[in-house]
Structure 1
Amino acid sequence: MIISQPPKILSIKDNMYICDMLANNLRCIKTISEFRKKSTDQEITNILESAEKMHIRHYDTLLESLQDCEN
């Protein structure tokens, strides 16, 4: 029997790594948001907004990966 896809199961180590990545991305989102709110330069504000959106996407993707797995 050939398995076309690996099972959707994460090890404890995988879960811990993903949780760390979630925490890191959340910390980045909060930090970038604070700097963006204080920025008076529109170019810097745009760059920070782009970085914030990137970290939000990463956070959402990591969260989805946890929700898709069976533990």
Structure 2
Amino acid sequence: MQQQQSQQQQQPLYTPKGPQMSETPAVITSKDLLYLTDMMSWNLMALKKAHFYAGQCHIQEISQALEKACQMHERHYKQILDHMQKHTGQPPQNPSKNQGQQMQ
């Protein structure tokens, strides 16, 4: 019984099958584009909320931390956008259905 348990513990939990990729493929599938568009929407929503709450907050340290979070999400949004433009040659159609405002 102990021998079986020790053999099971030595084996990795997951062993990938098939060929290993040495680098990321240069192709973005339609499913990848949908996921990247979702990621852009999440970052856009997070940056808008962080900016809104930073403006509502009266404690300077918290307001600054929220603005820093806002800048981080904006950076991520732009990185994803740049990546999509690089691989597709065009920006996404609708990064957010409820975008409402342009980023500054």
Q: Same fold (TM over 0.5)?
A: yes
Shorter-chain TM-score tier: 0.7 to 0.9
Greater C-alpha Rg: 2
Segments of 5+ residues of structure 1 without an aligned counterpart are: none
Moved over 2 A (4+): 4-8
Q: Structure 2 matches for 1:20-59, cutoff 5 A?
A: 20-59=38-77
TM-score between the two structures when normalised by the length of structure 1: 0.86
Structure number with higher relative contact order (C-alpha < 8 Å, ≥ 6 residues apart): 1
- CA distance in 2 between counterparts of 1:42 and 1:6 reads 42
Q: Percent identity?
A: 34
What do you get for the CA RMSD once the two structures are aligned? 1.7
How many angstroms does 1:24 deviate by? 0.3
Segments of 5+ residues of structure 2 without an aligned counterpart are: 1-21, 90-104
TM-score between the two structures when normalised by the length of structure 2: 0.60
**Larger relative helix fraction:** 1
